[in-house]
Amino acid sequence: MNLKQQASGGAEVEERMAALVTNSNAIRSISSAVEGTLGPKGLDTMLVDKYGDIIITNDGVTILTQMEANHPAARMLINIARAQQEEVGDGTTTATIMAGAMVGAGVEQVARGVPVNKIIEGMRLGLEKGLELIAEKTRSVESLEDPLIYQVALVAGRGHQDIAGLVVGAAKLIGREKLLEKNFRFSDAVRADERADNTVFMGVIINRGRMNRQMPAKIEKTKVLIIDDALEPEEVDEIARSTESGVKQNEIFKTQFRENIYKIVDMHVGLVLADRGISEIAEEIFTDTGIIAVERVAGSELRKAAEHTGAWMIKRTGLNKDIDLLSRCLGSAGSIYNDEKNEQVRICNGEGNPSATVVVSAATREVVGERERIARDSAAAVQSAVRGGVVPGGGALEISLAREIDKMHSCFRGMTVYGIECIIDALKRPLAQIVSNAGFNSLEKVGDVLSLQEETGNDALAVDCDTGQVCDMYQSGVVDPVLVKTYAFKAAEEVAEAILRIDTIIKKKEDKPDSIETVRF
């Protein structure tokens, strides 16, 4: 090889390393933004926009999705965190920190001359072994009365006992079978309000009040009608209204509409919900006959109300059906209550599918969002624990995985072991960050846990962040859902592998609109 070829090869290597280092630095900056929030002693982050509005939060996914990040590698990591939040509702900070550690360790190995493909091969082996070990260490949760459920809610709820109690109470109301439903998201049952008290009830909230104060404030054991439309008379078009026939047709529509409203009264409906506006004619009749009417209800709330009460959502033309057919579209509720202070209507004890609502109080408007995020995390963790079981938290699980994966070194030869080491480094990172945030020496404490787990054979050992002593996480009540841990581990490896495979960064050309050519005939 001549000097020119050597120089060319050296430049190519430098270019590839530059891409890796650039991406690694971007991942590291994202990881640094959330690592200070991890663990019981983690602190909050303040997000400020250009208008001076602020969000103060300890929630990893909120920080990641709200922060400004322009680097493509950083956006990849943020997208992984967002996907984890949507899938299991928690664990985004752990996934982000582990991904940052894997990428950092991988770049160091590449700089030492280890081929990227060998690193990735080792990482995949480490991931596969780790997932097998997690399955072996899982404790199933067979009942909502299991004390572990409350502990899961408390840990995910960042130690807020009131929130953990509310979430567990709601879980018991709807039952284990509902939590196991694939498309059911327990976290959607949570809402926070500075004007409300902490409460859990079987039912749903409509975030709109009754149309006027002359309507009843409360109705017991009643029927519910849901109109996925405006509850107003049909009208002929503007041109037709100027003709005599159009005027007559309009009068026919109004007469038919009034008859349909009285059908609702004759069916003893107590609550009418409409997607859009409700006409003055209908409002007056409903008021006179003691019916609660709510207009301009959000579509998502209409669907929740329909599911809980067993009602069928209909269009206004559906009111033209005879009364027997129309009656089949009605739902039922044990009680309807108009909350005047919060301008909401609560539908309780519907005869459809069970649906519990968790209302979390907040002292001020500034903390409403954070209280709701905490409660949603807690609810998501409880549902994940019911679906997949639990493992010891506090970094104990990850340390036990690192310890056992480390034993794989003797089974492999060559450079694959360097990829396994990247996995081991990443698995030690959560505990190191937790104890660092608590004010202890991370190197010392990780070493203590590793040696004591090995000596005792107890995989649940980690560090008490109050005392700094090594203790059993199960006995301390520090447990995490298996699904959260599994997803975080897989997500971290996935993004690390994707980043390490990039050896060139090329700026994409701007997409230009097609030019318009004028053709003369």
Q: What domains are defined for the chain?
A: 14-139+390-500 (1.10.560.10), 202-361 (3.50.7.10)
User: pLDDT, tens digit, for every residue of 243-294?
Assistant: 767 667 778 888 899 999 999 999 999 999 999 999 999 999 999 999 999 9
Weakest-pLDDT range from 81-85, 320-324, 341-345: 81-85
What's the whole-number mean pLDDT along residues 294-310? 95
Describe the crossing of helices 416-437 and 482-500 by its angle, rounded to 10 degrees.
Answer: 130
More confident residue, 414 or 304: 304
- Give residue 239's pLDDT: 62
- Give residue 18's pLDDT: 79
Q: What are phi and psi of 138, to 5 degrees?
A: -75, 135
Query: How far apart (Å, rounded) are the C-alpha atoms in residues 521 and 518?
Result: 10
Whether pLDDT at 298 is above 50: yes
The amino acid that residue 155 corresponds to is V
Whether pLDDT at 512 is above 70: no
Whether pLDDT at 71 is above 70: yes
More confident residue, 253 or 302: 302
- Give residue 441's pLDDT: 95
Residue 241 pLDDT level (bands cut at 50, 70, 90): low
Whether pLDDT at 520 is above 60: no
- Residue pair 500/116 in contact by the 8 Å Cβ criterion: yes
- Tokens 């009460």 belong to 309
- Give residue 245's pLDDT: 72
Query: How far apart (Å, rounded) are the C-alpha atoms in residues 266 and 183?
Result: 37
Please provide the average confidence, as pLDDT, over all residues in the chain.
88
Query: How far apart (Å, rounded) are the C-alpha atoms in residues 247 and 484?
Result: 64
Weakest-pLDDT range from 61-70, 136-145, 482-491: 61-70
User: pLDDT, tens digit, for every residue of 91-147?
Assistant: 788 888 999 999 999 999 998 889 999 999 999 999 999 999 999 999 999 999 999
Whether pLDDT at 84 is above 80: no
Whether pLDDT at 8 is above 50: no
What's the whole-number mean pLDDT along residues 510-518? 54
Q: What is the 3-state secondary structure (H, E, C) of 382-447?
A: HHHHHHHCEEECCCHHHHHHHHHHHHHHHHCCCCHHHHHHHHHHHHHHHHHHHHHHCCCCHHHHHH
Whether pLDDT at 170 is above 70: yes
Whether pLDDT at 488 is above 70: yes
Q: How many CA within 13 A on the CB side of residue 61?
A: 20
- Give residue 328's pLDDT: 94
Per-residue b/e over 206-243, b at no fewer than 16 CB within 10 Å?
A: bebbbbeeebbeebeebbbbbbbbbbbbeebeeeeeee
- Give residue 370's pLDDT: 86
User: pLDDT, tens digit, for every residue of 359-393?
Assistant: 998 877 778 888 988 999 999 999 999 999 999 99
Judging by DSSP bridges, how do beta strands 269-274 and 218-227 pair with one another? parallel
Whether pLDDT at 3 is above 70: no
Which of the residue ranges 64-68, 78-82, 339-343, 457-461 has the most confident prediction, judged by mean pLDDT?
457-461
Residue 9 pLDDT level (bands cut at 50, 70, 90): very low
What's the whole-number mean pLDDT along residues 403-417? 85
Weakest-pLDDT range from 124-133, 341-350, 356-365, 427-436: 356-365
What's the whole-number mean pLDDT along residues 165-188? 92
**Angle 53-55-61 (CA atoms, 0-180°, nearest 5)?**
135
- Give residue 7's pLDDT: 42
- Give residue 252's pLDDT: 84
What's the whole-number mean pLDDT along residues 65-94? 80
What's the whole-number mean pLDDT along residues 404-411? 84
For residue 346, list its beta bridge partners. Answer: 205, 337
Residue 514 pLDDT level (bands cut at 50, 70, 90): low
- Give residue 30's pLDDT: 85
Residue 238 pLDDT level (bands cut at 50, 70, 90): low
In 243-315, the DSSP E strands lie at 269-274, 292-294
- Give residue 418's pLDDT: 92
Judging by DSSP bridges, how do beta strands 199-206 and 356-361 pair with one another? antiparallel
Query: How far apart (Å, rounded) are the C-alpha atoms in residues 277 and 264?
Result: 17
- Give residue 516's pLDDT: 44
What's the whole-number mean pLDDT along residues 349-360? 92
Please give the model's pTM, rounded to 2 decimal places.
0.83
Query: How far apart (Å, rounded) are the C-alpha atoms in residues 403 and 40?
Result: 24
Describe the crossing of helices 116-137 and 92-111 by its angle, rounded to 10 degrees.
Answer: 150
Whether pLDDT at 505 is above 70: no
